[in-house]
Every structure is written in C-alpha cells, then in structure tokens.
Amino acid sequence: MTKHLSLVAIISICLLLSACHQANMKATEFVEQIPVRTVLKVGTLYGSQTYLRSDHGESGFDYEMAAKFAQYLDVPLEMVPYNNRQQLFEALRQNEIDIVAAAITTTNNRREQFLLGPTLYEVNQVLVYKSGNLKPRDFNKLQGDISVISESAAVDTLSKLKQSNPNLTWQQVSDSDNEELFSMVAAGDILYTIADSNSLLINQRYLPELRAGIVLDEKTQVVWLLPPLNSDYLLSSLLSFWHIQKRNGTLEHLNEKYFGHVKRFDYVDTRAFIRAIDNVLPEYQALFEKHAGDLDWRKLAATGYQESHWNPKARSPTGVRGMMMLTQPTASSVGVDNRLDAEQSIRGGAIYLQKMIDRLPASIPDSQRIWFALASYNIGLGHVEDARKITQGMGKDPSAWRDVKQVLPLLQQRKYYQHTRYGYARGNEAAHYVDNIRRYYDTLVWVDSQNKQQELLDIESKIEGELADETSLNADNSENPEDVIKSSAQ
C-alpha cells in the first residue's frame, strides 16, 4: 500500500513538473512573440496640426504626441511623411510603419481595416466654400461638384448622403492635400471641399476667404491607426500611455497649444494682417531679427503687430508710444530714449519681454513661458501672479497656460480680485491679447515657410537654367572633327 502511494506521488510530481515545464514554455513563447522594438516608425502627412519641419525644429500635435510615446517606449522616434493617404494606409498595411498619426478621423471603413487607438480630440466635419458665394444649405442644390481627397473620411460621408440626396456629386483627387484644396477654394478654382473644423480654423489664418457651410458630422473622433494584425502589444502600450497623458493634462495642453487660440476668427483683422506682411513688415523684419536675441523673431514681430500694427509713430491716450507701445518708465528701464524710433522701440520691447520671461517662476515650462510673459507684458507680472494663485486655489495648474488663460478673466470680478494683491485687471483682454499674438505668429511661420520653399524653387530653377546654358555653350563651342583635321593639314 505504501509502495502504491509512493508510486502515485512520484507520478503526480512528474505530471506537475511536466505541466510547469509546459507553462514555462508557453510563457517563453509568449514573451518571444512580443516584438523587440528598436525604433517607433510613425507615418504622417505634412500639415500645421500634424507634422511640420522648419529651421526651428519639428512641430505638430501628432508629432509631439508621437515623440512622447516613443519616449514612453524608450525607443527613438522616426517620423515618416507620405504624400497622400493611399501611400500612408498602404504603408501601414505592409507593416512598413507602426502607426499612422495624421489627424485621421474614425469611419466604419477604417474600423474594418485597422486597429483604432484612443480618442485624441474631436472635430466637426464641414463643407467649405468661399466667402462671397451663396452659402450652401442643401446638398441637392449645390452650384457644382465637391472636391475631396481620395480615401478621406469625406468620401464615406458623401456616399451615405448620396442615398438621401440623389443629385449629390463629387470628385476625388489623389494629387492634392487638404491645404491645396483650401487654396483652390479660396482662389475660386473649385467650389467646395470637405474638411475637419480644426483644419479649417487653422487655414483661415492664411486664407481668410474660407467659410464653413453645412456641418456633415459632429464630434467625430480623431485617432491613430495601427496595423490589423500583430499590434495587440503596441495597442496595449498605447492605451496605457494615453491614460497617463490624459491624467497629467498633456492632451489638454496640446489641444490648447494647437487649437485653443484659433477659435476666434476675425476676417477683417486677418486680411489686414496678411496685407501688412506684404506691405509693412519688409521694412522692419531685419530689425526684429537683429534684436530678438533668444526669442523667435516672429513672436517679437507678432507682438509688435498686436501693439501698434507695426506703426513706429503709434500713440495711445494712456501714454504708451511707438512700435512696441512702451510706457515712459519701461522705456527708461531698457535704455530707450526715443520711443518713436522703430529700432529703439523694437530693441526695448525685446529686452523687456525677455525680462518678463526671466522673472517667471521656474515651475513654468520653457514651452509656455512666452505666453505668460506676453500676458505680463500686457497687464503686468503682478496681475498674472494673482491669476496663478487663483488658478492654484481652484485646484488647477498655475504653471499651465491653458488653465491660467481661463482664470485671467476672473480678475475683472470683485469676488475674486478683492482678495488679490494687485486688485482689478482686464484679464479677459490679456487672454485675447495672447491668443491674437499666437495667431499672428502662426501666420508668420506659414508665410516664412512658403517664402523659403519658393526661394528653394527659384534656386533650383536658376541652377537648371545655368546648366542648360552651359550645355548649350559647350555644344556651340565644340569643334567638328573634320574641321580639326583640315586645320592640322593646313
């Protein structure tokens, strides 16, 4: 009996060890199936809200989120821009990239083809037309076709609308992006296109003729796309990362940074600013560049436009003067003895703005210090500090511009300002002041990039022309072999 029990025990132990071995094998196999990632390859499309490269580095909502995700995964980031959506989606299908991050909205078709990441933000899908044309209200009574990008969400929406609007027609284009279609609408080359509301608001800063017509879809989710197969581990990591960014306010910060200041569109002001870039700025741009110091000269120039519309002789009833509208005490403190001299004013404004930046608490991130400094430039550092204290008392982040911007208007309400050190201030004006400068700055960045692209094209054209001339000259100067022989014989 004892021997029998011993045999049973031995068999049980063997089975247990075998099971443990099999479990360990399965666990090992599972670990081996998790890809060892050495780089995060993110496919994207060029655009103000997605990805841009300039002399000042890379930028864009999707770029910044991708950079943070790569850091979370502890691998380098490789951004891979594509020319159109077809190439972008095909690269994802072929596993040439890990993620698509390009302001892509959700559609049923995309749900069927790819894995969808969590919601980054929401937009409305709108019909875009040119100011001066009849505002479209009925799809069956449009004046012409709608031009949309191939494989865009607009194609899915239009296909659904066609069922109840039989006269609806559209054409798909594959050789243009959103910004090109916006330019074509503004120029009158096409009548309509469809875009997300954020993209329209951003482009209205450069093309103020654009208008939003019919809203086709509300609160559409913008997400990243992942390959349909073998992406479970990456999606799990993305979800964990997203929860962290949601909790620490990164998503709110990026939404405010890229979209928060574009929601107040002023057609007349935008048109006037674009004309001033062409007609006024060339006279003063070198001065802004010369005296900007560590500041981006375009932020200094945008501040100058907000202050005086680049008028060096500007005067205010409150006693401020010149291009940067300095008070007499401020001018004296920065070594300006003639506030109506354009160069002195620009130099003084740059020094004063840098002082504001330097005096801000160290807790404010470098990327946001300029906005706090500009608000201080407008209403004074003391009032901004009052707003920060109120912000903190409300359980918000006093070092995040998105939170302080919302609180600044409270400095105009007695129940708040009576408990502050510096009292009443026009906080609402300061918030708008900063938003305006941010819009002007974005427009200057866009114009600057367009000019540089044109310069490169002009240089390429010049080089090609010189090469053609040289080839032609060499051909003209080349001697005929028979002439050479005859000349030698003589």
Structure tokens that stand for 286 in this block: 């070198």
> Cβ contacts of residue 217 below 8 Å, gap of 6+?
124, 125, 157
Please give the full DSSP string across 88-141, using - where no structure is assigned: HHHHHHTTSSSEEEEEEEP-HHHHHHSEE----EEEEEEEEEEBTBPPP--GGG
- One-letter amino acid of 97: I
CB atoms closer than 10 angstroms to residue 260: 18
> Cβ contacts of residue 224 below 8 Å, gap of 6+?
62, 99, 100, 101, 104, 116, 117, 120, 238
Is 32 noted as a catalytic residue in this protein?
no
Residue 286 phi, psi (nearest 5)? -60, -35
Q: Which listed residue (307, 385, 470, 482) is catalytic?
A: 307
Q: Where are the alpha helices (DSSP H) in 98-249?
A: 108-113, 153-162, 178-187, 197-203, 232-248
- CA–CA distance, 405 with 150 (Å, rounded to integer): 39
Taking the CA atoms of 299, 305, 308 and 312 in sequence, report the sign of the dihedral they define: positive
Element (H, E) at 410: none
By annotation, the residues acting in catalysis are 307
